[in-house]
């Protein structure tokens, strides 16, 4: 299956032509991001918490301390919604009404389950680390058994999902194109800055190659 079935849950209601249901589109957004917002319910109240993640095959993995309220709740197998939003630009139309945002968002639904096998846990932790910054995992001191024990990893198999994408020029009402108002797109760019050494960094430890040009540009 390369496409998620459209249901009441994942259907893009507002501006349906911006909705996408194929895995290629949805997973490319998940793979470009590294921070998601996880939604879940406790006592009838919704919570939205930012957290790092990685997609591996048809699952999203998140991790954290075993005392985390979010992870304890997801470990109960409740429904969760994982959303990743990449902002590309502010869309400046001539009318206030047609202002918009260029963005790519992926919304994923599923029920969490705790990863118990140590090997699978390590592999998920490495995937999250690599999704944030490639090459760092192999360059860091690996987790001890105790560190693994106090870390919870939750797998959320993607049960349903959709993406929503807006790109390109503003769309104004026909009559408004004559107005003497500047219109266009203000791009939004997220970039890494220059790495800042730890104040306790030992002398003689140079910046690794993967940090010199972290976006590969």
Contacts of a second copy in 21-50 (CB under 8 A):
35, 37-41, 44-50
**Residue 31 Cβ vs a second copy, minimum distance, rounded to whole Å:** 17
Residue 182 class from Cβ within 10 Å (0-12 exposed, 13-18 middle, 19+ buried)? exposed
How far is 58 from 204, CA to CA, in rounded Å?
A: 43
Beta strands 79-92 and 59-65, pairing class:
unpaired
Residues 133-152 that bind a second copy (CB under 8 A): 133, 136-137, 139-144, 147, 151
Query: 145, 182, 203, 213: which one contacts a second copy (CB under 8 A)?
Result: 182
Nearer to a second copy, 2 or 148 (CB): 148
**Residue 36 Cβ vs a second copy, minimum distance, rounded to whole Å:** 9
Nearer to a second copy, 59 or 82 (CB): 82
- Contact segment (CB under 8 A) with a second copy among 17-25, 54-62, 76-84, 112-120 equals 76-84
Query: 1, 13, 116, 203: which one contacts a second copy (CB under 8 A)?
Result: 13
Q: What CA–CA distances, in Å, run from 38 to 20, 28, 74, 109, 110?
A: 20, 18, 10, 10, 11
Q: Does 131 bind a second copy (CB under 8 A)?
A: no
Q: Does 162 bind a second copy (CB under 8 A)?
A: no
Q: Does 157 bind a second copy (CB under 8 A)?
A: no
Q: Does 56 bind a second copy (CB under 8 A)?
A: no
Q: Phi/psi class of residue 77: alpha, beta or left (left: φ > 0; alpha: ψ in -120 to 50)? A: left
Closest CA to 34 of 142, 130, 139: 130
Nearer to a second copy, 2 or 144 (CB): 144
Residue for token digits 């807006």? Answer: 166
Q: Does 83 bind a second copy (CB under 8 A)?
A: yes
Q: Does 125 bind a second copy (CB under 8 A)?
A: yes
Q: Specify whether the CB–CB gap between 102 and 168 falls below 8 A.
A: yes
Q: Specify whether the CB–CB gap between 29 and 55 falls below 8 A.
A: no
Query: 54, 62, 93, 115: which one contacts a second copy (CB under 8 A)?
Result: 93
How far is 112 from 76, CA to CA, in rounded Å?
A: 8
Q: What CA–CA distances, in Å, run from 139 to 104, 114, 142, 144?
A: 32, 27, 9, 15
Nearer to a second copy, 31 or 99 (CB): 99
Query: 90, 120, 123, 130: which one contacts a second copy (CB under 8 A)?
Result: 90
């Amino acid at each position: 299956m390369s496409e998620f079935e459209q249901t009441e849950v994942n259907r893009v209601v507002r501006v349906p032509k911006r909705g996408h249901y194929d895995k290629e589109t949805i997973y490319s957004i998940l793979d470009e991001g590294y921070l998601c917002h996880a939604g879940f319910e406790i006592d009838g109240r919704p919570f939205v918490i930012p957290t790092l993640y990685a997609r591996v095959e048809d699952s999203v993995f998140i991790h954290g301390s075993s005392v985390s309220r979010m992870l304890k709740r997801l470990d109960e197998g409740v429904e969760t919604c994982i959303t990743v939003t990449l902002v590309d630009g502010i869309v400046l139309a001539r009318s206030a009404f047609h202002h918009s945002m260029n963005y790519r968002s992926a919304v994923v639904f599923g029920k969490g389950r705790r990863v118990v096998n140590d090997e699978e846990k390590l592999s998920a932790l490495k995937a999250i680390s690599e999704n944030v910054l490639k090459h760092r995992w192999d360059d860091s001191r690996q987790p001890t058994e105790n560190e693994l024990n106090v870390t919870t990893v939750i797998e959320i198999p993607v049960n349903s999902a959709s993406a929503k994408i807006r790109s390109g020029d503003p769309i104004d009402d026909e009559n408004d194109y004559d107005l003497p108002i500047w219109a266009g797109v203000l791009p939004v760019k997220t970039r890494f800055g220059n790495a800042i050494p730890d104040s306790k960094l030992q002398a003689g430890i140079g910046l690794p190659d993967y940090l010199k040009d972290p976006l590969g540009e």
